[in-house]
Amino acid sequence: MNFKKIVSTDNASSTFLIRLMVGAVFLSEGIQKFLFPDKLGSGRFEKIGLPDPEFLGPFVGMFEVFCGAFILIGLATRLTSIPLIVIMLVAIATTKGKVLANDGFWEMMHGSRTDWAMLLGSIFLLIKGGGRWSIDGTLS
């Protein structure tokens, strides 16, 4: 993939709102994985049964911080949305399946509303790019 394709975007100014939502949430969540590791980082990953939580917590947190920041400024938006999509798919698969099995469909839907918003917002940015008010827009 060449640089031009990575930064290509449409000229929509409304894309900024999706970038603001996705970028701010991931940046905040990534920082919190380092500030509160027992509750939101490695401790949470251990609680839900993910392998090697002491590595995985900071690893995921790092991706959330860097990708969230890049999405906020609109730099390599398409590329940086890919790890965030993977993070959200894993989050949904590892946490919401148990809720569905134990508490039913509606409880799972209620508990996963932020997950779905982040997943779909990230997919939107993969498809559309950073939009008019982004570094990608300036570079393309």
Token digits for 119?
């997943």
CA atoms of 103 and 90, how far apart (whole Å) = 20
Token digits for 46?
């251990």
pLDDT, one tens digit per residue, over 72-114 is 999 999 999 999 999 999 999 999 988 999 999 999 999 999 9
Token digits for 75?
């730099």
CA atoms of 11 and 22, how far apart (whole Å) = 19
Predicted local confidence at residue 6, as pLDDT: 75
Predicted local confidence at residue 11, as pLDDT: 85
The DSSP result for 65-85, as a single string, is: HHHHHHHHHTSSHHHHHHHHH
Whether 35 shows a pLDDT value over 70: the answer reads yes
